[in-house]
Amino acid sequence: MAALRCSKIALFYQISSLFFCLLLSFGLCEDFEYPYVTCGSVVKLLNTRNNVRLHSHDVKYGSGSGQQSVTAVDSSDDTNSYWAVKGKADKPCVRGTPIKCGQTIRLMHTTTRRNLHSHYFQSPLSRNQEVSAFGTDGVGDNGDYWAVTCSGTYWERDDQVRFKHTATDTYLHITGDTYGRPIHGQREVCAYPKPDSGNFWRVMEGVFIKPTENSAGGKR
């Protein structure tokens, strides 16, 4: 009887695991098994000083570039806060491979399919450098490239990391400035010229693609 009970328990956990994997495949839950952020993962990014998540929406800046605005929000369940982790346009990363510290990536906003972007326009509130979402269906330019700055070999999900904009040597940052209408309460996201506590980010919710067998050893 004990053996039968153990078999039933094992079967229950197998079915439960399958159920949660199906949920994961539809983006309705997150997988806690894998330690790395991998190519193809879809994540929410929390600014650890301000406790807000990187966000975008089909709302244009009224100044500067006039491109799609990027902000940050308090809500943890906002569907406009998901970003897909991609490699460079001319050097794509292999789906499921861990992202290395120092590696240059793109972050594509999943709802509008525009890339996290920066350039030499002033941000609306703090007058730092503007951060926008740019491109069409994930295709943009070299203003979309960000180097992951972390201390280990790979970007781990528990790490606090910085994103350094490779074209302008600035960091993805939040000053704490808050917008009024039409995006009342959302925080300004900008690019800042030096490392600071306002440019630390951590992965939170998301769909994490399993690393391939050889990827942890660095094979690309």
Per-residue pLDDT of the chain (220 residues; tens, 9 = 90+): 434 333 333 333 333 333 334 334 444 344 446 799 999 999 999 999 999 999 999 999 989 899 999 999 999 999 999 999 999 999 999 999 999 999 999 999 999 999 999 999 999 999 999 999 999 998 989 999 999 999 999 999 999 999 999 999 999 999 989 998 778 889 999 999 999 999 999 999 999 898 766 655 443 3
Bin 84: left if φ > 0, else alpha if -120 < ψ < 50, else beta.
Answer: beta
What is 31-211's CATH number?
2.80.10.50
Q: DSSP class of residue 67?
A: -
Q: Are 88 and 138 in contact (CB under 8 A)?
A: no
Name the residue among 10, 22, 126 with its Cα closest to residue 2. 10
Residues 6+ apart with CB under 8 A from 133: 56, 67, 68, 69, 70, 109, 112, 114, 115, 116, 117
Q: Where are the domains of the chain?
A: 1-30, 31-211
